[in-house]
Amino acid sequence: MLSYILSRLVALLASLAVASVVIFVMIEMVPGDPAAFMLGLNAAPDTVAALRAELGLGGSPVERYLRWVTGMVQGDFGISYTYQVPVAELVAARLMVSLPLAVMALLLSTLIALPVGLYAASRRGRAGDWSVMGITQLGIAIPNFWFAMILVVIFAIQLRWFSAGGFPGWDAGVLACLKALILPAVALALPQASILARVMRSAVLEVLDQDYIRTARAKGLSHRRTLTDHAFRNALIPVLTIIGLQFSFLIAGAIIIENVFFLPGLGRLVFQGITQRDLIVVESVVMLLVFAVILVNFMVDIAYGIADPRLRRQ
């Protein structure tokens, strides 16, 4: 198991290294000089040069890349061009919104999807199965940001149970914050849960076709017990993969959803960064998002190793 984790860890670091190069090169391609942009059209050339040095824009690309990476490893993401504060501070504040949102959505979708998928599989071909399949089919087709807008109309504008957007900040209390995140999390979770429930259903059905299910039945396990004791755990293995892949969709979805609810998360930060050409912010946030995806997939790989003994000794 240890060598398995180590090999996955090496893969994780390699992906991070290559991803950082890709992001750096992309940002390097951006035309224009951020220093000149910040100081406006009438700035004196030597002022621009001074600012360039201050922003860490001097030196060869290789030097700049190494400075960027070593800085990030130490928690120094540079200074935002527009806000004139450390990017790390900006990101940390925004992360306090985006991260809870992503976690809530992931939990919500998993907690809904797995039992629903198992239920549908156990009712294969019957009314329960058909209704689950129908509802999830619709759930997959609904764009999450549109669903978010509809939720706002119903629960914020009509029923006034929730506010239509905004975030009170964690100083205002945990409950208030969680309440502000409920609608966005539901909007994010619905399509994910639909996909996951369908994956779970087909994974369970696939497992139910296996010989060892017949063995379990021949041992005297009831249909229900076979489902929970044998089919569920074996079906989790493909489902884990999908959860890992979904995280990538979740990140994309979260960035969009933050716009619907005017949440001060990473998504809003990165869009402001683009419009204000605050490239160092864009660069850092993108790197952070990619890091999150890679990290989650690493954790899925480890979970895989726990769930499937065949992988441990490879």
Region 200-229 residues binding another protein, contact defined as CB under 8 A = 210-212, 214-223, 225, 229
Residue pair 120/193 in contact (Cβ under 8 Å)? The answer is no
Binding flags for another protein, 224-263, as an x/- string (CB under 8 A): -x---xx--xx--x-------x--xx-xxx-xx--xx---
Q: Please identify, using beta-carbon distances, which residue of 104 and 188 lies nearer to another protein.
A: 188
Residue owning tokens 């994010």: 188
Q: Which of residues 70-109 bind another protein (CB under 8 A)?
A: none
Binding flags for another protein, 152-191, as an x/- string (CB under 8 A): xx---x----------------------------------
The encoded tokens of residue 120 equal 């549908």
Q: Please identify, using beta-carbon distances, which residue of 167 and 298 lies nearer to another protein.
A: 298
Residue type, 212: Y
Confirm or reject binding of residue 126 to another protein (CB under 8 A).
no
Q: How far apart are CA 250 and CA 293, in angstroms?
A: 10
Residue type, 28: E
Confirm or reject binding of residue 47 to another protein (CB under 8 A).
no
Tell me the window of 13-21, 79-87, 99-107, 170-178 that interacts with another protein (CB under 8 A): 13-21
Tell me the window of 39-47, 112-120, 173-181, 285-293 that interacts with another protein (CB under 8 A): 285-293
Confirm or reject binding of residue 57 to another protein (CB under 8 A).
no
Confirm or reject binding of residue 289 to another protein (CB under 8 A).
yes
Exposed, middle or buried, 224 (CB in 10 Å: 0-12/13-18/19+)?
exposed
Residue pair 119/206 in contact (Cβ under 8 Å)? The answer is no
Helix (H, G, I), strand (E, B) or coil at 79: strand
- Please, what's the largest Cα pairwise distance for the chain? 86
Q: Could you say which of 141, 159, 174, 175 contacts another protein (CB under 8 A)?
A: 141
Q: Could you say which of 22, 53, 107, 111 contacts another protein (CB under 8 A)?
A: 22
Residue owning tokens 């989650």: 296
Residue type, 232: F
Helix (H, G, I), strand (E, B) or coil at 86: strand
Q: Please identify, using beta-carbon distances, which residue of 149 and 176 lies nearer to another protein.
A: 149
Confirm or reject binding of residue 297 to another protein (CB under 8 A).
yes
Tell me the window of 76-84, 105-113, 177-185, 302-310 that interacts with another protein (CB under 8 A): 302-310
Report the chain's C-alpha Rg in angstroms.
Answer: 24
Which residues on adjacent β-strands are paired with residue 86? 79
